[in-house]
Amino acid sequence: MSNRNWVCFSCRITNRKSSRFAGKAICSECGGELNYLGYKIPVPPKSKPKEWKKLQEQLASEAREYERDIFKAKVRNRHDLEQELEKLKALPSNIGRQSLIKQLEKRLKYA
């Protein structure tokens, strides 16, 4: 079992926790929430604030990109459901198809 890095950007400190840690990591100095880095991202020395700022900006950029990707996937899923519904509604009606249409409409409602 390996450890992972957690950092506090305001105090510029690093805390290592088990990879099985599942709670919120709290900074021992300021009491703020620590940010998860993993084990591959190198942590800059405390004496280099520019590198810490760069790391913080990199993590923020990655978080925005991740959120954008999630949003795109949700839009794509909704679009696919809408297209499938239109195709099914254009076909002649039968019991199985009506059931499938109801299922897809329910999924679309929560998509």
In a shared domain, residues 36 and 68: no
Show the low-confidence residues of the chain (pLDDT under 70).
1
Report the C-alpha gap between 82 and 108 in whole angstroms.
7
- Is 13 in contact with 27 (CB distance < 8 Å)? yes
The amino acid at residue 46 is K
In a shared domain, residues 35 and 54: no
In a shared domain, residues 35 and 70: no
pLDDT value for 83: 97
Report the C-alpha gap between 26 and 4 in whole angstroms.
14
In a shared domain, residues 55 and 106: yes
pLDDT value for 1: 62
In a shared domain, residues 80 and 66: yes
pLDDT value for 38: 86
- Pick the last residue of a domain from 24, 43, 62: 43
Structural domain range at position 6? 1-43
